[in-house]
Structure formats: structure tokens, C-alpha cells
Structure 1
């Protein structure tokens, strides 16, 4: 039981890692760009994670962990911020390499504006729920910065690919939050989030994950060696 979370990390990344060396994909050439981006973005999310763990917003069940902790977080949780982004960035890379998935500029702008507006409304309405507030406010701010200040014109495409990946997200996060297990690996304080769950997954987790992937994509694109495309 103590390797449960570690196995989740492993199976999340292993197939994508193997196919990174496929001669028609060659994603391995961009491992450096990926690890730079995941280190940079992961550092911020790890601080967020450690802060919420200290506050008791969520906590981890030692029954499913190896027992190694750093800054209050299990080793498996730190690996989560590498394994999940790797699988998502790899999928984005493959789909956009072989298929045209660009949005029309007007449609993408409308999507971003609506998303920012909804995120801010959620922030205001659920102002007494710390996980909800931080998640939706930071997502709205991230969308504004990425689209309007940094000129990212791939957010619509990222949203579509994130939707494609949702079944996998539900599987992984479902197990982490207790689906199929006697007890959850990650437990949430019901006072700190809305309380709406998809199976066992708090709705906030889906938007938390989207923000994590958006920033990994941004820095991956910045660090990637374009001459190897």
C-alpha cells in the first residue's frame, strides 16, 4: 500500500516517456526545455501546496506513501509536479505537431475573456473558501497575464487538449481523492472548498490542473529549441 501514490506517478508518465523516443516524435530532444519549465513552475506550485498543507486545507494519508517528506510534502507529491505536466506537454506537443488545432483569434479572445470573468465571479462569490478563492483568482490572473500581457495565442488549443486529457485526469485524481481505495490519499478540509465533486474530485482541482499546465506550456515554449522542430 505504501507505494500506491508512487505507482500513480509512474503509470502517469511511463507510456509518454517511452514514446518520447519514437522516431516520428523525438520529444526527447526537448527534455531540457521541459525540465526547466517544470522546475520553474513546479517551485511555485510546491510553495502553494506546502502552504495549504500547513494550513490544513488538505493533507496526505501516510498509509499510501513511502514516508519521505520535504518541506512538509511527500516525495510522491513533488514528483506529481513533474509527471502530470510531462504527460500533458507531451500530448500537446504530439497533437499540435500532427494536427492543426489553432483557434480563430476572435473565438480565442472571447473564450479567454469569458473564462477570466467566470473565474473572478467564482472568487467573489466563494470568498470564504480559501481553496476556491486562490484557485480561481490565480487562474483568472494567469489567463489575463498570458493572453493580454505575454501574447500567448495557444490558450484555446491548450483548453481543447486539456479536455481530451480529462479522462486520464479523472482516473489519476480520482484515485488520489479516494476512488477505488478504502481511504483517500489526499484529503480535503470541507470548510475550504465549495464541496462540489466529480466522483471524488473537488471541482477546484480541474482548474488548478489547467493553470498548472498553462504555465508549464508557456515556459516550455520559451525554452524549447525551435531549430530542432
Structure 2
């Protein structure tokens, strides 16, 4: 096996299951691509810019032995694809939760959990402001949660209960994929820029870095989906 395709292979394996199951009659995820793909684009652009900056600042780097060598600015093409493949898989899981567990509409507790989490992340991010990865991942995730509630009129279709249930499921494959990427290692982290608290080989910041990405994708996906439908689930 050519090790230079390792990152590509990890992404392909991650996408294979959700893509094949997208044509399941109950979920019919393929019929929702018209909302999904536009929802993925803006977060991907923001994350790619974030990634370019952090790679330049040596917050993380990429092992040349396990990437193809094709780069956009300073990012491997695989890393750029990550911000399209992972959101696809995550929103697919979210949509499965919505379809198979349609009664999860009581979201008061879920709202409280997200709001408390935002306070914790904001305070922690400010305390560790000098660590690039910790402060940015925690503070930006906190601020986006604040935005969800502060601009309720725009994000009225976001359902915190569906999100939290989905993200608790998403964390299993998300950590598995990141586990491969950091254990091989394909991605190398500079621990001076994070808390150096690891889940196996994964910085704990990855949980909230991923949470922000999924939150953005789901919030925009629901916004686009419900623009064409009079039914919506209010966040409050």
C-alpha cells in the first residue's frame, strides 16, 4: 500500500457508509442534498481559513509520509476535503436521529445544557487565551452558541435536543477518525498551543472544534430546509 494515500483512505472509509445509506427510503438523505450542500460551504470556507492560519502558526502540522502532497496554500487536499466529508457524515447522523426518533421536541433541558456549556467554554477559553487552539476552539464555539440564542428569529428551526443526541452519537466515529489521524500520526499537534489533555492521542479541544463545525452545519441546514416549509421548531 502507498502510505501517501492514508489520509484519503481514512476519509473514503468515513464517507462510504453514510453515502451508501443516504438512499434509505425512510431517511431519504439524498433528497435533502439541495439543503445540505449549500449549508456545508460557508463553514468549510471558515474552517479552511482557520486551518491555513493555524498551520502557518505551527499549531498543528501534517505528516508528509501520509498525505498525497497535493496542497491548497499550505493545506493538504485531504484536509480541505475533511471539511466537506465530515459534515456530510455528521448531518446524515443528525437526520437519522430526526427520522427515527421524531418525538424529541422537548428541548428546554437541552437549551440549558448548551447555554451552560457556552459559559464554561467562554470562561475556559479566556483563562487560556495564550493557547491558540484552546482559546479559539472554546471561545468560537461559545460565541456561536450565544449567536444561536441571541438571533433566535434567524435560527428558530434549530433544535438543541436533536443536536445533543446526534452529537453524542457523532462523537464515537468522530473520535475514531481523529484517533487514526493522530495516532498514525497524520496530523501532529503542538501541545504548547493546547491544554495537553488527551483522549488517547486526541486533544480535548477537538471535541469542541468538531462541535462548532457540526453546530454551524446543522443550524444552516435547518435554516435552508425550513425556508421552503411553514413548519418549524422554535429554539425557545
The TM-score, its normalising length taken from structure 1, stands at 0.92
Deviations 1:146-205 (A, max 9, x none): 123134441232122111122211210001111xx3xx1101111100000000000000
Structure 1 residue 223: deviation in Å?
Answer: 2.2
Q: 1:29 aligns with which of 24, 28, 31?
A: 31
> Does 1:222 find its partner at 2:223?
yes
Match of 2:122 in 1: 120
Whether contact under 8 Å (1:61, 1:187) holds in the other structure is yes
Q: 1:154 aligns with which of 150, 159, 163?
A: 159
Q: 1:80 aligns with which of 57, 79, 82?
A: 82
Whether contact under 8 Å (1:155, 1:214) holds in the other structure is no
Across the aligned residues of Structure 1 and Structure 2, the Cα RMSD in angstroms comes to 1.7
Structure 1 residue 46: deviation in Å?
Answer: 0.5
Consecutive unaligned residues in structure 1, runs of 5 or more = none
Match of 1:187 in 2: 188
Deviations 1:51-89 (A, max 9, x none): 000111001011001110002110100110111111110
Figure out how many residues of one structure are paired with residues of the other and give that number: 224
Deviations 1:23-46 (A, max 9, x none): 222211121221111111100010
| Greater alpha carbon shift after TM alignment, 5-14 vs 29-38 | 29-38
Distance (whole Å) between structure 2 residues aligned to residue 218 and residue 71 of structure 1? 29
Structure 1 residue 224: deviation in Å?
Answer: 2.7
Secondary structure of the corresponding residue to residue 59 of structure 1: strand
Secondary structure of the corresponding residue to residue 4 of structure 2: coil
Match of 2:178 in 1: 173
Structure 1 residue 105: deviation in Å?
Answer: 4.0
Distance (whole Å) between structure 1 residues aligned to residue 107 and residue 170 of structure 2? 23
| Greater alpha carbon shift after TM alignment, 52-61 vs 16-25 | 16-25
| Greater alpha carbon shift after TM alignment, 3-12 vs 141-150 | 141-150
Match of 2:147 in 1: 145
The TM-score, its normalising length taken from structure 2, stands at 0.89
Whether contact under 8 Å (2:107, 2:161) holds in the other structure is no
Deviations 1:83-119 (A, max 9, x none): 1111110111111012135353431332122111101
